[in-house]
Structures are given as C-alpha cells and as structure tokens.
C-alpha cells in the first residue's frame, strides 16, 4: 500500500504538545505490567490452594475464559479480587506472628535493661527502667511548684524540637530538590556543583555550627540553618541521580510528540524519579533529626536536645536516657508517616 501523498501548497499545522497521549501510553504500559503480575500471582495462589471447588482457566485461540470445575459443583462466583479464600488466613497468620514477635520483644528488652542496671550498680552509669519512668512522670507534670524541666514540660521540649526539625527539613528538602533537578539536567552545572555538595555532606554538623553562630548569633536562625544544611545534600544527591537515570525511551517519546524541555521534566522525569526522591527525603529528615542535639547545644532550652545536653552536665543519666527515648520514638513515628505518604502518593513504586 502506497503512502498518501501530501497535497502541494497545503501546510499542516504544527503539532502541539499535550501530556495526555504520553500519560495514556505510560498508563497503558504500567497497567499491562500490573495486569501480568496480578495474573501471575493469581495462578500461583490457585496452584497453592486446595482443588475442591476451584476453577481452571483455559485459553483458546479466541481468548475466551471458560471455568472448569474440579472435584465439586460448578462455581458461579468468587471474591472480587480473584484470590482464593484460603490465601487470607495465611497472610493473617504471618501478620499476627510479626505483631506477636514485636510485642514480646519489648518485655525482653526491658528485662535485659534491668539486668544491665543491676549488674552496673550505679544509677549514674546505667539507670533502671523504673528511674526513667519516674522522670517521665516528673517531667510531664508539675510537682512542688516545679514545672517539668527548666520550666517546660517534656511535651513542650519535644514540640519545640519538632518545629525546628520541620522548618529546617522543609527548607533543606526544597533547596535540595531544586538543586538536584538542576544537577541532573545540566551536565556542566553538575560538573561544577557536585564536588561542593559532596564536601558539605562530608562535614559534621558541629564543624560549621560555630561559624553559623558567628554569623547569625545564638537565636533560632543558626539552628534552622544547621538543620537545613544537614538536610540538603541527601535530597540533592538522590534527586540528581534519579533525574539523570530517567527512562530514555519515555524521554525520547515525549520529545517525539513535541514536548518542550519543561514538559519532559514535569511529565516524564519527575514522576519516574519520585521514588528515589522520597528515599532522599527520608534520609534528609533522619539526618536533620540526628543533628538536632548539635543544633541545640547553644541556647537550646527549651528543646529536647538542649534538655539532654543540660542533664548531661549534672549527671542526670535518667533524664538523658528519657530524652534519647523521646527522640527515637518520635523519629520512628515520623519515618512511619513518611512511609505511609510514600505508599499513598507513589503507588507505582517497584512496578516499572
């Protein structure tokens, strides 16, 4: 068949870029992969399930699906997701086992802690769990006119530190995201700026905190700058690597459809790089959280890091341990929230 000839004198309008066709094609590609994975998991589950009342799916040249009962009456319906009913108790059993192991590990750790405290015999070296619990009660209430620690409750110390971490991490993540996109899309800027980012990432927070105090004083500004600088390199490095490793086929397809440079970055590069970017954000928040004690070494009260540093000067080991536990538990909560947000906002992670 001969291709159609163009009429002389007729100028076709320039094709305008629209992200609709590309998004539709990407969705179709992802959908086919997910469908293949679903069929594969369904066939494996069907092979593991008992044969009574099961159905065998056969394919022919007309791609028709015909149920074939094995060892029982014909089955007219099933679960909405197509999974056998016997697979649910297996997953429930595994989840119950994991929860049980985690619940039982807590008393075991407390018992080991009590044994270590009894073996040490010095509360200033290893405080007992009961002493830490008593400090938790004292620092969370008002006793004999004394309100918490240094006039602030434990929740207030933790809340002020979390506010500093939130502001500093937000500034560092935003700057790192922009810098990472620039480094991933402009090779000559990456050649110049990447050693600087690596140099800053290698510095410990206390190395430049003294310089920040000289520049900005001892108020909130140097603390926020410290947390922002600590959170910037992980996001910048992860974003640059993810943007630089974007799928070449999708990028070329977008350019073939007439996409501009900004359209390619917005509709192709950033969606494919979001999983790695979220990993960098989690690392950045963790680094900022670990740097809060260094940020609150100077004029850090109220603040959980300042409370720990102040209690360390007076050998209040139970208060130090309580502060560390508060930092660790709140860090676990923040990481769990980030994981939930990642699962909700990036459902295609691991499917491409």
Query: What confidence tens digit (pLDDT) does each residue in 108-163 have?
Result: 888 888 888 888 888 888 888 888 898 888 888 887 777 888 888 888 888 998 99
What pLDDT sits at residue 167?
92
**Residues 29-45: what's their mean pLDDT?**
49
What pLDDT sits at residue 58?
38
Would you place residue 7 in the very low, low, confident or very high pLDDT band (cuts 50, 70, 90)? low
Q: Which residues pair with 68 in a beta bridge?
A: 56
Phi, psi of 80 (to 5 degrees): -65, -30
CB 303 within 8 A of CB 296: yes
59 has pLDDT over 70: no
Q: In residues, how long is the chain?
A: 352
DSSP 329: H
40 has pLDDT over 60: no
Report the distance separating Cα 82 and Cα 77, nearest Å. 9
Residue 304's Cβ-side half-sphere holds a number of Cα atoms within 13 Å equal to: 26
158 or 23, which is more confident?
158
Report the distance separating Cα 269 and Cα 243, nearest Å. 6
Q: How many Cβ atoms are within 10 Å of 19's Cβ, its own excluded?
A: 16
Would you place residue 75 in the very low, low, confident or very high pLDDT band (cuts 50, 70, 90)? very low
* pTM given for the model: 0.65
Strands 146-147 and 142-143 turn out to be antiparallel
How are the residues of the chain apportioned to helix, strand and coil, as percentages rounded to the nearest 5?
Answer: 70, 5, 25
6 or 212, which is more confident?
212
Report the distance separating Cα 201 and Cα 219, nearest Å. 24
Min mean pLDDT across 68-72, 102-106, 223-227 is at 68-72
The predicted-structure confidence for 61-71, as pLDDT tens digits, reads as follows 344 444 444 44
């Amino acid at each position: 068949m001969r291709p159609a000839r163009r009429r002389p004198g007729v100028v076709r309008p320039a094709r305008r870029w629209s992200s609709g066709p590309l998004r539709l094609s990407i969705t179709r590609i992802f959908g086919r992969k997910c469908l293949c994975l679903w069929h594969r998991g369904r066939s494996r589950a069907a092979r593991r399930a008992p044969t009574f009342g099961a159905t065998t799916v056969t394919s022919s040249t007309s791609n028709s699906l015909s149920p074939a009962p094995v060892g029982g009456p014909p089955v007219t319906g099933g679960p909405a997701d197509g999974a056998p009913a016997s697979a649910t108790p297996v997953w429930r059993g595994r989840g119950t086992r994991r929860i049980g192991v985690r619940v039982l590990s807590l008393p075991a750790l407390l018992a080991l802690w009590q044994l270590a405290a009894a073996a040490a015999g010095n509360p200033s070296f290893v405080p007992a769990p009961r002493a830490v619990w008593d400090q938790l009660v004292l620092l969370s209430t008002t006793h004999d006119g004394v309100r918490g620690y240094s006039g602030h409750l434990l929740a207030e110390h933790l809340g002020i530190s979390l506010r500093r971490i939130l502001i500093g991490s937000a500034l560092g993540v935003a700057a790192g995201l922009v810098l990472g996109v620039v480094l991933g899309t402009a090779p000559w800027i990456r050649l110049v700026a990447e050693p600087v980012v690596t140099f800053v990432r290698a510095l410990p927070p206390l190395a430049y905190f003294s310089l920040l105090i000289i520049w900005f004083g001892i108020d909130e500004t140097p603390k926020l700058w410290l947390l922002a600088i600590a959170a910037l390199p992980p996001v910048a490095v992860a974003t640059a690597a993810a943007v630089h490793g974007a799928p070449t086929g999708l990028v070329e397809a977008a350019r073939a459809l007439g996409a501009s440079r900004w359209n390619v970055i917005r509709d192709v590069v950033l969606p494919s790089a979001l999983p790695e970017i979220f990993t960098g954000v989690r690392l950045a928040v963790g680094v900022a959280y670990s740097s809060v004690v260094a940020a609150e070494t100077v004029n850090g009260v109220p603040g959980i890091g300042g409370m720990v540093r102040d209690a360390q000067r007076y050998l209040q080991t139970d208060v130090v341990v309580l502060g560390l536990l508060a930092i660790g538990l709140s860090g676990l909560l923040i990481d769990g929230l980030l994981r939930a947000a990642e699962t909700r906002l990036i459902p295609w992670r691991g499917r491409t």
